[in-house]
Structure 1
Amino acid sequence: MDSVLIIGGTRFIGRPTVEEFLDHGYDVTIFNRGSHENPFAENDDVRHVEGDRTTDSALERAKMEVDPDVVVDCVAYYPKDVRAATQIFADCDAYVYISSGAAYGVDEAPKREDDTPLHDCTPDQATSDEDETYGPRKAEGDRAVFAAADRGVRAMSIRPPIVFGPHDYTRRFDYWIDRVKNHDRLLVPYSELRHLVYVEDVASALRVIAEAGEAGEAYNVGTHTLPLLTEWIDAIAEAVGRDVETVRVGDRELDAVDLAPDEFPLYLDYPHVLPTDKLEALGWEPTAVAESVAETVAAHPDGEGRENGPDRETEERMLGVLDTF
C-alpha cells in the first residue's frame, strides 16, 4: 500500500484530498500546526503529525516519521516553501504542489500550461503576503517545481481557478447560494467567462497527477463546461428548487447606487479559461456542474456568504431604479 503525506489536510481542499487518497487505499498522514479543527481526529485511518511547514526541521521530522511515497502540498504560499519541500522530499515517488490559475501572467484566453506565460516574481513579491502578489508567488512556486524536476525530482503542479464546494471558508460561491435561497430577484453584473472548479475534482486530480503525471509538468483543472455567472446562478436555483430572476447590469447602472462590478463575488472583467485536456489525458474526469452545485448547496449553512457582496438594501435600491425606466 502506498503512503501519502498531505501538508495541510484539515481545511477546504485538504478534506476531500484526504478522503480521495483513503478511498484509493493509501495510508494517509496529515501534517500541519493543528491550529484548525481536525475533522479526522476520530478517524484511526488518518495519522496526524504536528508541525510548522515553514520550518525545514519540522518537514524533515515529518519525512523521517512517515517516509511517504507521495507528498501533496496544499499550503505552499511562498516560493521558499516549494523549494524546501522539493529538496526534503526529493526521493519520494511524487510531490504535487497546488499552484493556481492566478499564476498565469496574461489575461488572454485560453490559458494553456505549455504556452501561456507565467507572472514574473520579484524578490519582494516572493516574500509578500499581499493579495496582489499571490499570482506571482504561485508562479515562482511553479518554477521551483520545474527546477526540482530538472534535478531528478518527480515534482508536478496543479493550477485550479477559484474553487467551490463544501467547507469553503472564502464563502464566495455561498454569497450566490444565500441570494438564491432568500430572494426572487438578483442583481448580477455583466461578467466575462470564468472557470471554476469543484473541490472534490481538485482532490481527484491531485491523486491522478501523483499516480500518472509527468515530472516537471503543470496541469490545469476546472469544470468541463464554462457557465456564465448567470448560468451558475441558474444551477444554484435548480438545486435549491426556486425560480429567480437575474437582472443584469453594467458599470453605468451600478454607479447610480455607488456600486462597482467587482464588489460581486465571482465577477471578472476579462476571460479566465483553463483548458483541462492535458489533465484529462491522464484519466481524470470532472464532476458534472449540476451535481457539484447540488452537493455544494446541500452543504451550505444558512446565512453564510451574504456578507461577501453588496448588501440587500443597496441591491433593492438598484432594482428600484431599474424599475422606473
Structure 2
Amino acid sequence: MTDTALVIGGTRFIGRHTVEDLLDHGYAVAIFNRGNHENPFADDDRVTHVEGDRKDEMDLKAAKLSIEPDIVIDCVAYQPADVEAAVDIFADVDAYVYISSGAAYGREEIPKREGETPLCDCTPEQAASDSDASYGPRKAEGDRIVFDAAMDGVNAMSIRPCIVYGPDDYTERLDYWIHRVETYDRVVVPGDGTNVWHRAYVKDVASALRVVAERGTPGESYNVGDRRLVTLEEMVECIADAADTSVEVVHAGERELAAAGLEPDDFILYREYPHVLDTNKLADLGWDSTPLDEAMAVSVDDYRDSDRDGSEWDPGRDAEESVLEILDTL
C-alpha cells in the first residue's frame, strides 16, 4: 500500500523539491496551502492540492480528514503557534517533520551540534512577531514544542537547515554571486575570502525531510548542510567552474570597502564568524549530500533559465569599481 505524504506548503523552493523527492520515492503526495503562488504540480495527477490557510485550525483539520496522511512535512511553520497546532492536529500520524533552522542555535561555536549547542530563547513578543530579528528564536521555540510533543507520544521531529541554495530559490542569494561571475572578470570578495557560512543544497534538504520522516527518532532534531564546506572564495571559484568561465577574485578589507561606502556585510553570504553545523547525526540515518560541483552546476543552469539576477543584494557595481581602483593603486 502506498504511503501518503501531506506537505504543508509545497509549491515554492524547499516545499517544491520535497514534493518531487517524495514522488520519486513512491509516495502519494498532497500539498496544502492558500494557493497564492503558482502550483508547479497543477497538471500532475499524482499530486492532490488542498486549499486552505495553515493558520486556520479548521482548515488543517479538514486537510487531515480528506488526505489521511501517513507523514506530514511542515515547510511553512514560521511561528510557534503554527507548530503547536500542527503537533496537536497530526498527533497520530506516523511522522510529523518540522522545518526549523540553523538560526535556532543561540550560541556561536564551531560546529553547532544538536542537543549540545544551546538554542535561542524566545519571548512571547518574539513568538508573535514576524521580524527577521525574531526568526531564530521563533524557530527554536518551534523545536521545543516538537520535543514536548514527542514526550507526549507524538512522532514529531525537526530538521535544521543552514542557508539553502539551488533551483527555484526565490531569495536569489546565490544568484547575486552567479550573476557577478557571469558578468565581470573581477569579483570583489570581502575580507580574505576564507569566511564560512554553511550552505545546504535544496534537493538535499528535501531528501533529509523524507529520510527523517522514515528513519528519524521522535523528539530529535537533525542538522542539514553540505557535507563538504567551502569558503566564500571557494564558492565563487566553484560557480566559475560550473559556468565554464574564470574570474579574478579580489579581496577587499574593511578599510578599502569603507572608502567606497561599503561594509563586508553588504555582500550577501558573507558572515564574520563561521556558521558550521555538524551533520553527522543525519548522515547516520543513511543520508548524504550531493557533490558540490554537481549541485553548483544545476544551480547555475537554473539561474540561466530564470529571470533572477540577485539584484536585491547588489551593493552597487560602481562602488565595487571604486574599491578595485583603490586596490589597484596599493
Q: TM-score range by the shorter chain?
A: over 0.9
Q: Which amino acid in the other structure matches residue 200 of structure 1?
A: K
Q: CA deviation at 1:272?
A: 0.6
Q: How big is each residue's C-alpha offset from its partner over 1:64-116, in whole Å with a ceiling of 9 and x where there is no partner?
A: 00010000000000000001000000000000000000000011111000100
The secondary structure found in structure 1 opposite 2:196 is: coil
- Are 1:306 and 2:311 matched, yes or no? yes
Question: Conserved in 2, the CA contact under 8 Å of 1:76 and 1:97?
Answer: yes
TM-score (ref. length: structure 2): 0.97
Cα distance in structure 2, aligned partners of 1:167 and 1:85: 27
Q: CA deviation at 1:250?
A: 1.8
- Are 1:133 and 2:134 matched, yes or no? yes
For 1:238, the equivalent position in structure 2 comes to: 241
Q: 1:282 aligns with which of 282, 285, 298?
A: 285
For 2:321, the equivalent position in structure 1 comes to: 316
The secondary structure found in structure 2 opposite 1:48 is: strand
Q: Which amino acid in the other structure matches residue 67 of structure 1?
A: E
Question: Conserved in 2, the CA contact under 8 Å of 1:179 and 1:306?
Answer: no
The secondary structure found in structure 1 opposite 2:53 is: coil
Cα distance in structure 1, aligned partners of 2:125 and 2:262: 33
Query: What does 1:176-195 correspond to in 2, within 5 Å?
Result: 176-190=177-191, 192-195=195-198
For 2:77, the equivalent position in structure 1 comes to: 76
Query: What does 1:1-325 correspond to in 2, within 5 Å?
Result: 1-190=2-191, 192-300=195-303, 301=306, 304-325=309-330
Question: Conserved in 1, the CA contact under 8 Å of 2:87 and 2:149?
Answer: yes
Cα distance in structure 1, aligned partners of 2:91 and 2:15: 22
Q: How big is each residue's C-alpha offset from its partner over 1:301-322, in whole Å with a ceiling of 9 and x where there is no partner?
A: 3551133121111111110111
Runs of at least 5 residues in structure 2 that lack an aligned partner in the other structure: none
The secondary structure found in structure 2 opposite 1:30 is: strand
The secondary structure found in structure 2 opposite 1:186 is: strand
CA 1:62–1:303: 2 relative to 1, 3 Å: closer
Q: Which amino acid in the other structure matches residue 316 of structure 1?
A: E
The secondary structure found in structure 2 opposite 1:200 is: helix
Cα distance in structure 1, aligned partners of 2:85 and 2:115: 25
Q: How big is each residue's C-alpha offset from its partner over 1:140-171, in whole Å with a ceiling of 9 and x where there is no partner?
A: 00001001101100000000000000111110
Give 4+ residue runs of structure 1 displaced > 3 Å after superposition: none
Question: Conserved in 1, the CA contact under 8 Å of 2:252 and 2:323?
Answer: no
Q: CA deviation at 1:25?
A: 0.6
Cα distance in structure 2, aligned partners of 1:206 and 1:153: 17
CA RMSD, Structure 1 to Structure 2 (Å) = 0.8
Question: Conserved in 2, the CA contact under 8 Å of 1:163 and 1:199?
Answer: yes
Cα distance in structure 2, aligned partners of 1:193 and 1:186: 18
Question: Conserved in 2, the CA contact under 8 Å of 1:7 and 1:71?
Answer: yes
Question: Conserved in 2, the CA contact under 8 Å of 1:166 and 1:296?
Answer: yes
Runs of at least 5 residues in structure 1 that lack an aligned partner in the other structure: none
Cα distance in structure 2, aligned partners of 1:119 and 1:263: 25
TM-score (ref. length: structure 1): 0.99
CA 1:303–1:133: 2 relative to 1, 3 Å: closer
Cα distance in structure 2, aligned partners of 1:304 and 1:173: 9
Cα distance in structure 1, aligned partners of 2:144 and 2:104: 10
